[in-house]
Amino acid sequence: MATAPVRKVPFPSESILQPLYKSAYFIDAFAVTLPRQQATTYKPKAVARAFFDNPPAWFSLLMWIRDHIMSIFGVKRSTKIQAEAAKRGMDTVSVFPVISSTDKEIILGEDDSHLNFSISILIRDVELPKSTVNKDDEKEKELVSTTVVHCHGWLGRAYLAVIGPFHVFIVKYNLARLPSKIMKQ
């Protein structure tokens, strides 16, 4: 599958999550330019599904390991997160409950005993320099994935220290492949 360049970007000021930035224990934001030919049709929920759906086998294995180890400490398994969201009548993207959704952004997240996390999938206009694909000063669309985490005590901080590098790798991996996934839809 073809990959696209992924950029670390400043935390988006236009995100619904912006008020949570100051108090966050962990926050990151990465962006990828979306395919131009479908730029007018992007819906955050559909793009979020493309971002999370059909994970590689190694990711499913990592989630299985995470679920089994962390359940010893009372942390919810991913399947429980999804089941609880369904019981509450909440929609999900992958295993993550949908907290809110607008025409430009979808917020996924969960509050657990060890930490609270929120994921923003934001679609915004971006001007690219004329020297790139953008020859006529039109705006391109980009997807910005922002993760905000608030830890509860030592368990949340320890958990984040262990999964942090995996998180960054997985976000970049998914973003790099997202434009190709969208083009196949």
Short-list 168, 169, 172, CA closest to 4:
172
Q: Specify if 99 maps to a domain.
A: yes
| C-beta separation of 147 from 128 below 8 A | no
In the chain, the amino acid numbered 18 is Q
The pair phi, psi for residue 62, each rounded to 5°, is: -60, -40
Q: Specify if 140 maps to a domain.
A: no
Q: How many domains does the chain have?
A: 1
Q: Specify if 116 maps to a domain.
A: yes
| Boundaries of domain holding 115 | 6-129+153-183
Q: Specify if 28 maps to a domain.
A: yes
CA 103 from chain center: how many Å?
16
Q: Specify if 90 maps to a domain.
A: yes
Burial call 85-94: b when 16+ CB within 10 Å, e when fewer: beeeeeebbb
Q: Specify if 138 maps to a domain.
A: no
Q: Specify if 139 maps to a domain.
A: no
The reported pTM is: 0.88
Q: Quick one: pLDDT at residue 160?
A: 94
Q: Specify if 141 maps to a domain.
A: no
Q: Quick one: pLDDT at residue 165?
A: 93
Q: Quick one: pLDDT at residue 99?
A: 96
Write out the chain's pLDDT in tens, 185 residues.
678 899 999 999 999 999 999 999 999 999 999 887 655 678 899 999 999 988 889 989 998 999 999 889 888 888 888 888 889 999 999 999 999 999 999 999 999 989 999 999 999 988 666 655 555 555 788 999 999 999 999 999 999 999 999 999 999 999 999 988 887 76
What residue spans of the chain are helical by DSSP H?
44-52, 57-71, 78-87, 153-184
Q: Looking at the DSSP assignment, which residues form a beta bridge with residue 144?
A: 31, 122
Q: How far apart are CA 99 and CA 117, in angstroms?
A: 11
